[in-house]
Amino acid sequence: MLRGIQAGNRYTITLRGEAVADLVPAEGNKHTDAMAAVDEMLSFMQARQPVGGIDLKALINEGRA
């Protein structure tokens, strides 16, 4: 079964005919996914103009009320 999963196959485990679990190939390196997300966020932030004229402290205090 593990070799089948490595090959991309998916298996459903049943109990008395009811699906209870799926065996699926593991996702890729989660560290790589996190680094890609950071790169995307940095690109997004650099492509936008900063928002001005906002009193951040007032917004924080408003959220606490």
Domain residue limits at 38: 2-47
In a domain, 63, yes or no: no
Q: Identify whether 55 is part of a domain.
A: no
Would you state the pLDDT for residue 33?
A: 73
52, part of any domain:
no
Report the SS3 class of residue 5. Answer: helix
The residue ranking higher by pLDDT, 4 or 6, is 4
Is 59 contained in some domain? no
pTM above 0.75, yes or no: no
Q: Which residue has the tokens 């209870």?
A: 20
- SS3 of residue 34 by DSSP: helix
Number of domain units in the chain: 1
Nearest to 5, CA basis, from 23, 31, 28: 23
Would 54 be classed as within a structural domain?
Answer: no
8-64 pLDDT per residue, tens: 889 999 999 999 999 988 876 566 677 888 999 999 999 998 888 889 899 999 988
Tell me, yes or no, whether 18 lies in a domain.
Answer: yes
Give pLDDT, residue 5: 84
The secondary structure of residue 14, as a DSSP letter, is E
